[in-house]
Homo-oligomer: A and B are copies of this chain.
Amino acid sequence: MHCGFDIGGTKVLGVAVTDDPVRPQAVRRRPTTYDAGALVDTIVGMVADLEHDTGQPCEGLGLGIAGIVDRQGTLRYSPNIPGVVDLPIRRLLVEALERPVVVENDATAATWAEATLGAGQGSDHVAFVALGTGIGTGFVVDGRLLRGWNGFAGESGHMTVDKDGPLHITGAPGPWEYFASGNGLGRMAREAAAAGGLGAVREAAGSVDAIRGEHVHHAVVEGDAEALELVRAFAREVAVGVANLVHVLDPEVVVIGGGLVEMGSVLVDAVRDHTHELVLGGPHRPRPEVVGARLGSRAGALGSALLVAAELGGGPSPH
Contact = CB atoms under 8 A, between A and B. Distances in A.
Nearest to A76: B284
A142 interface: yes
A14 to B, nearest CB: 26
Taken together, the copies of this chain in the complex come to: 2
Contacts of A162: 161-164
A281 interface: yes
A123 to B, nearest CB: 8
Interface string A72-87: 0000110000000110
A250 B170 CA distance: 18
Contacts of A123: 149
Q: How extensive is the interface on chain A, given as a class? A: 35 or more
Contact of A285 (B141, B150, B280): B150
A153 B68 contact: no
Interface in A147-174: 147-164, 170, 172, 174
Given A148-B251, A149-B286, A170-B280, 9 more contacts: A76-B285, A147-B250, A150-B250, A152-B285, A153-B250, A157-B247, A159-B244, A162-B162, A163-B240
